[in-house]
Amino acid sequence: MPNGDKTALHTKGRFHSLGHFLIFGFVAYVAGRSTRSVWARILLFIVAGLFGFGVELAEHLLYKTALEWKDVLVDFAGVFVGTLIAFVGASTEG
């Protein structure tokens, strides 16, 4: 999005990265808990990561702004942590 719109919508600032991390972590956690299959969880991990990249790429292409690699990395970190928590939670349930 253009910077003026980002400011108006509060999509930049000191909590911006935390928001990306939490949202993508939550999505990955829910996706990871939706199945018991390890392969399905791995596939959902990849899909969630690609979704994060796709959102940033679409923003870049639509609004002609710089691709925000920091957001992509934070999205992937959230996906990784959310998936990891889903795996750990599933393994402790027995």
Model pLDDT, residue 38: 86
Confidence of residue 7 (pLDDT cuts 50, 70, 90): low
> For the whole model, what pTM was predicted?
0.81
* Domain boundaries, given as residue ranges, for the chain: 3-93
Query: What's the pLDDT tens digit per position in 38-61?
Result: 899 899 999 999 999 999 999 889
Tell me the C-alpha distance between 38 and 87, whole Å. 9
Give the burial string for 14-23 (b: 16+ CB within 10 Å, else e).
Answer: eebbeebbee
Model pLDDT, residue 94: 56
